[in-house]
């Protein structure tokens, strides 16, 4: 079904989605939440959580049934991301990257590429990475330096990417490279699949990060990596559009992660305020705390409404999905940063120490305002449509 920008995008959550959400909630409370503090502290990629997601069919959420997925669409995927992020943002990123790193193939790849990569991602066996940014090309990926040169039927890729999620964990990297320097800024770029075992590929510097510490981020190095012509995604020199069309959809994952973090912090602060007594009463009985909690709950609910409605735009193929996903990402991430900061305030001194989860949530929230396009870039994307 294709919808235009003018059509409203009412979303309804089908009963099977609600049932699935309940099952995910239970799994998160029992299996993910107890691991969250440790994942943050050790900064180790949680392979056990990835296996858990695989065994509960979560890794299949980004994919169509014909490629081994659940075929349940964007709304269900992001409901799952939100539920996981309530307890552990690093674990939510496992699902988000499964979507971000495969969308280029889903949207633009040949059937051969789809069959080669998507089913093994849907089962959870493989995980991808999306390699667009570079040390000198963040908000402006059109200024990238990585080059790919044709050599017979192959392409040879040379360059270094930066801030790449899943570095060292990914089985393959979607690498964007300039294939025609004559075309100028943001043009003449192509997208390739580069398997991690290809000669010349190396795992470079890994970052020490403020948040999402259970997810490895860093510099993949492509030192004259040779890939066959079949690894080109979409048409040659059309890679910038592959990247933009991907981000138009994947930014909803960041929005969902942010809504989850905001709700997780709100729920924790509310429960704490009912237990914590000062001046002889639970602090939840003070209006100063009540107002904070009411605002946190309301703003998070508003962000969720925008997220779900943007997801239904993507599922309906609406022409203004990019604008809506940018708006959802902007509002949800600002809400997450604000709500987690308020949660720390509600907990006071306890909020500031790692024995309680809200300081981790506050650190995790910050990246949602930055990655998959800073919120300044989201405003630019939105303003261009007005």
Q: Which spans of this chain sit near ligand COS (rule: CB under 6 A)?
A: 130, 132-133, 139-142, 185-187, 240-241, 244-245, 247-248, 322, 371-373, 377, 380-381
Contacts 24+ apart (CB under 8 A), 25-28: 25/83, 27/52, 27/56, 28/83, 28/84, 28/86, 28/87, 28/88
Q: Is 50 exposed, middle or buried (0-12, 13-18, 19+ CB in 10 A)?
A: buried
Is residue 321 within 8 A of residue 307, CB to CB? The reply is no
Least Cβ distance, residue 72 to ligand COS (angstroms): 24
Give the closest residue to 174 by CA, choosing from 65, 278, 83, 247. 247
Q: From the candidates 41, 125, 372, 376, which is the catalytic residue?
A: 372
Least Cβ distance, residue 164 to ligand COS (angstroms): 8
Give the closest residue to 107 by CA, choosing from 64, 160, 147. 64
Q: Which residue is nearest to ligand COS (CB)?
A: 373
Least Cβ distance, residue 332 to ligand COS (angstroms): 15
Q: Which CB atom, from 54 or from 204, has the smaller least distance to ligand COS?
A: 204
Q: Which CB atom, from 133 or from 219, has the smaller least distance to ligand COS?
A: 133
The distance in angstroms from the start CA to the end CA of the chain is: 25
Whether residue 125 lies in the annotated active site: no
The backbone torsions φ and ψ at residue 181, rounded to the nearest 5 degrees and listed phi first, read -60, -20
C-alpha span between 259 and 83 (Å, rounded): 9
C-alpha span between 173 and 171 (Å, rounded): 7
- Show the tokens assigned to 48: 């056990």
Least Cβ distance, residue 243 to ligand COS (angstroms): 8
Q: Which CB atom, from 130 or from 272, has the smaller least distance to ligand COS?
A: 130
Q: Which CB atom, from 20 or from 371, has the smaller least distance to ligand COS?
A: 371
Q: Which CB atom, from 256 or from 344, has the smaller least distance to ligand COS?
A: 256
Residues in the chain: 386
Least Cβ distance, residue 360 to ligand COS (angstroms): 21
User: Tokens 């994307």 sit at which residue?
Assistant: 381
Q: Which CB atom, from 75 or from 381, has the smaller least distance to ligand COS?
A: 381
Least Cβ distance, residue 211 to ligand COS (angstroms): 15
Given its phi and psi angles, is residue 73 left (phi above 0), alpha (psi -120 to 50 degrees) or beta?
left
Catalytic residues: 372
């Amino acid at each position: 079904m294709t919808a235009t920008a003018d059509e409203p995008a009412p979303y309804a959550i089908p009963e099977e989605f609600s049932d699935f959400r309940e099952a995910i909630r239970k799994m998160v409370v029992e299996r993910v939440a107890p691991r969250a503090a440790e994942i943050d502290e050790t900064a180790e990629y949680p392979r056990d959580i990835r296996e858990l997601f695989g065994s509960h069919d979560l890794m299949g959420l980004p994919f169509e049934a014909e490629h081994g997925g659940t075929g349940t669409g964007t709304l269900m995927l992001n409901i799952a991301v939100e539920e996981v992020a309530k307890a552990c943002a690093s674990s939510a990123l496992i699902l988000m990257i499964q979507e971000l790193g495969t969308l280029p193939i889903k949207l633009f790849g040949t059937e051969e590429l789809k069959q080669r990569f998507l089913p093994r991602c849907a089962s959870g066996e493989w995980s991808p990475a999306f390699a667009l940014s570079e040390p000198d090309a963040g908000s402006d990926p059109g200024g990238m330096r990585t080059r790919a040169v044709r050599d017979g039927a192959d392409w040879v890729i040379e360059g270094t990417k930066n801030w790449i999620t899943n570095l060292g964990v990914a089985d393959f990297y979607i690498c964007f490279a300039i294939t025609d320097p004559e075309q100028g800024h943001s043009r003449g770029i192509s997208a390739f699949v580069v398997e991690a075992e290809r000669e010349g590929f190396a795992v470079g510097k890994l970052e020490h990060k403020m948040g999402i510490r259970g997810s490895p981020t860093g510099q993949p190095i492509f030192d004259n990596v040779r890939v066959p012509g079949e690894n080109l995604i979409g048409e040659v020199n059309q890679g910038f559009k592959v990247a933009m069309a991907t981000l138009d959809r994947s930014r909803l994952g960041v929005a969902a992660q942010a809504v989850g973090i905001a709700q997780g912090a709100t729920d924790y602060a509310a429960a704490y305020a009912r237990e914590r007594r000062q001046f002889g009463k639970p602090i939840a009985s003070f209006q100063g705390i009540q107002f904070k909690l009411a605002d946190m709950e309301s703003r998070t609910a508003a962000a969720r409404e925008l997220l779900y409605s943007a997801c239904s735009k993507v599922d309906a193929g609406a022409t203004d999905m990019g604008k809506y996903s940018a708006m959802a990402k902007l509002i949800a991430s600002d809400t997450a940063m604000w709500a987690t900061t308020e949660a720390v305030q509600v907990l006071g001194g306890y909020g500031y120490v790692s024995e309680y989860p809200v300081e981790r949530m506050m650190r995790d929230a910050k990246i949602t305002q930055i990655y998959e396009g800073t919120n300044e870039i989201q405003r630019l994307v939105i303003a261009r449509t007005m």
